[in-house]
Amino acid sequence: MSDVPLPFPPSRKEAASSEAERQSRAEADREMMHCFTSGDETGFATFYRRFAPGLFSLVYRILQDPKESEDVLQEAFVQMWKNTATYDPSRSSLFTWAVMISRNKAIDRLRARQRRFRVVEAAIAEAEAAPAAGAGPADEALGQS
Protein backbone atom coordinates (compact mmCIF):
# COMPACT_ATOMS: atom_id res chain seq x y z
CA MET A 1 0.00 0.00 0.00
CA SER A 2 1.33 3.44 -0.86
CA ASP A 3 1.83 6.11 1.77
CA VAL A 4 0.95 8.86 -0.69
CA PRO A 5 -1.99 10.80 0.68
CA LEU A 6 -4.95 11.09 -1.61
CA PRO A 7 -6.35 14.56 -2.19
CA PHE A 8 -9.65 15.20 -0.51
CA PRO A 9 -12.56 16.10 -2.72
CA PRO A 10 -13.60 19.72 -2.41
CA SER A 11 -15.98 20.50 0.38
CA ARG A 12 -19.56 21.33 -0.52
CA LYS A 13 -18.85 24.96 0.28
CA GLU A 14 -15.78 24.98 -2.02
CA ALA A 15 -17.70 23.18 -4.76
CA ALA A 16 -20.61 25.63 -4.46
CA SER A 17 -18.19 28.56 -4.51
CA SER A 18 -16.45 27.12 -7.56
CA GLU A 19 -19.79 26.58 -9.29
CA ALA A 20 -20.89 30.13 -8.42
CA GLU A 21 -17.63 31.50 -9.86
CA ARG A 22 -18.10 29.44 -13.01
CA GLN A 23 -21.67 30.69 -13.43
CA SER A 24 -20.59 34.27 -12.78
CA ARG A 25 -17.82 33.96 -15.37
CA ALA A 26 -20.27 32.41 -17.85
CA GLU A 27 -22.71 35.29 -17.29
CA ALA A 28 -19.92 37.85 -17.78
CA ASP A 29 -18.91 36.03 -20.98
CA ARG A 30 -22.50 36.11 -22.26
CA GLU A 31 -22.79 39.82 -21.51
CA MET A 32 -19.45 40.56 -23.17
CA MET A 33 -20.37 38.43 -26.18
CA HIS A 34 -23.73 40.18 -26.48
CA CYS A 35 -21.92 43.54 -26.66
CA PHE A 36 -19.39 41.99 -28.99
CA THR A 37 -21.95 40.46 -31.39
CA SER A 38 -24.02 43.62 -31.51
CA GLY A 39 -21.00 45.42 -32.96
CA ASP A 40 -20.23 47.37 -29.81
CA GLU A 41 -16.60 48.45 -30.05
CA THR A 42 -16.44 48.95 -26.29
CA GLY A 43 -17.41 45.30 -25.83
CA PHE A 44 -14.70 44.28 -28.26
CA ALA A 45 -12.15 46.46 -26.43
CA THR A 46 -13.09 44.78 -23.14
CA PHE A 47 -12.83 41.37 -24.81
CA TYR A 48 -9.39 42.29 -26.19
CA ARG A 49 -8.05 43.63 -22.88
CA ARG A 50 -9.27 40.57 -21.04
CA PHE A 51 -7.95 37.89 -23.38
CA ALA A 52 -5.07 39.33 -25.43
CA PRO A 53 -2.25 38.74 -22.90
CA GLY A 54 -3.06 35.04 -22.45
CA LEU A 55 -3.66 34.51 -26.15
CA PHE A 56 -0.38 36.21 -27.03
CA SER A 57 1.45 33.84 -24.66
CA LEU A 58 -0.16 30.86 -26.35
CA VAL A 59 0.66 32.05 -29.87
CA TYR A 60 4.22 32.96 -28.87
CA ARG A 61 4.80 29.48 -27.40
CA ILE A 62 3.84 28.01 -30.76
CA LEU A 63 5.72 30.41 -33.05
CA GLN A 64 8.67 31.54 -30.89
CA ASP A 65 8.72 34.89 -32.69
CA PRO A 66 7.24 38.01 -31.03
CA LYS A 67 6.58 39.97 -34.24
CA GLU A 68 4.98 37.04 -36.00
CA SER A 69 2.96 36.29 -32.84
CA GLU A 70 1.59 39.85 -32.85
CA ASP A 71 0.58 39.48 -36.50
CA VAL A 72 -1.13 36.15 -35.91
CA LEU A 73 -2.94 37.45 -32.84
CA GLN A 74 -4.22 40.41 -34.85
CA GLU A 75 -5.48 38.01 -37.54
CA ALA A 76 -7.18 35.92 -34.85
CA PHE A 77 -8.96 38.94 -33.34
CA VAL A 78 -10.09 40.06 -36.80
CA GLN A 79 -11.49 36.58 -37.41
CA MET A 80 -13.24 36.65 -34.03
CA TRP A 81 -14.73 40.07 -34.85
CA LYS A 82 -15.98 38.88 -38.24
CA ASN A 83 -17.25 35.51 -36.98
CA THR A 84 -18.92 36.29 -33.68
CA ALA A 85 -21.93 34.30 -34.88
CA THR A 86 -19.85 31.10 -34.70
CA TYR A 87 -19.54 31.39 -30.93
CA ASP A 88 -21.86 28.93 -29.19
CA PRO A 89 -21.90 29.39 -25.40
CA SER A 90 -23.39 25.91 -24.96
CA ARG A 91 -20.25 24.35 -26.47
CA SER A 92 -17.46 26.33 -24.82
CA SER A 93 -16.54 29.37 -22.82
CA LEU A 94 -15.68 32.57 -24.62
CA PHE A 95 -12.03 32.12 -23.67
CA THR A 96 -11.94 28.57 -25.05
CA TRP A 97 -13.43 29.81 -28.33
CA ALA A 98 -10.78 32.55 -28.53
CA VAL A 99 -8.01 30.07 -27.67
CA MET A 100 -9.04 27.68 -30.44
CA ILE A 101 -9.14 30.42 -33.07
CA SER A 102 -5.76 31.80 -31.96
CA ARG A 103 -4.18 28.36 -31.73
CA ASN A 104 -5.41 27.38 -35.20
CA LYS A 105 -4.11 30.63 -36.69
CA ALA A 106 -0.70 30.06 -35.07
CA ILE A 107 -0.51 26.47 -36.32
CA ASP A 108 -1.50 27.61 -39.83
CA ARG A 109 1.32 30.18 -39.74
CA LEU A 110 3.79 27.56 -38.51
CA ARG A 111 2.81 25.22 -41.35
CA ALA A 112 3.19 28.02 -43.90
CA ARG A 113 6.62 28.84 -42.49
CA GLN A 114 7.66 25.19 -42.77
CA ARG A 115 6.33 25.01 -46.34
CA ARG A 116 8.38 28.08 -47.32
CA PHE A 117 11.45 26.55 -45.71
CA ARG A 118 11.00 23.30 -47.67
CA VAL A 119 10.60 25.22 -50.95
CA VAL A 120 13.78 27.20 -50.30
CA GLU A 121 15.66 24.02 -49.35
CA ALA A 122 14.48 22.30 -52.54
CA ALA A 123 15.55 25.28 -54.67
CA ILE A 124 18.99 25.29 -53.06
CA ALA A 125 19.38 21.54 -53.55
CA GLU A 126 18.29 21.87 -57.18
CA ALA A 127 20.76 24.68 -57.80
CA GLU A 128 23.58 22.68 -56.23
CA ALA A 129 22.72 19.60 -58.30
CA ALA A 130 22.61 21.51 -61.60
CA PRO A 131 25.72 21.20 -63.77
CA ALA A 132 28.20 24.00 -63.30
CA ALA A 133 27.85 26.86 -65.74
CA GLY A 134 30.62 26.51 -68.21
CA ALA A 135 31.27 25.89 -71.82
CA GLY A 136 28.04 24.39 -73.02
CA PRO A 137 27.08 24.11 -76.71
CA ALA A 138 25.55 27.60 -76.72
CA ASP A 139 28.62 29.11 -75.05
CA GLU A 140 30.91 27.41 -77.54
CA ALA A 141 28.83 28.66 -80.49
CA LEU A 142 28.97 32.21 -79.15
CA GLY A 143 32.69 31.96 -78.54
CA GLN A 144 33.43 30.84 -82.09
CA SER A 145 31.57 33.65 -83.82
Whole-prediction pTM: 0.65
11-48 exposure pattern, b = at least 16 Cβ within 10 A, e = fewer: eeeeeeeeeeeeeeeeeebeebbebbeeeeeebbebbb
Class of residue 79 by CB neighbours under 10 A (exposed 0-12, middle 13-18, buried 19+): middle
pLDDT by residue (tens digit) across 54-82?
999 999 999 999 999 999 999 999 999 89
| pLDDT above 70 (res 16) | no
pLDDT by residue (tens digit) across 99-139?
999 999 999 999 998 876 676 677 777 777 766 555 556 65
| pLDDT above 60 (res 7) | no
pLDDT at 92: 86
Q: Kindly list the domain boundaries of the chain, sorted by start residue.
A: 13-127
CATH of 13-127, one of 1.10.1740.10, 1.10.10.10, 3.40.190.10, 3.40.190.150: 1.10.1740.10
Q: Mean pLDDT across the stretch 38-66?
A: 90
pLDDT at 28: 78
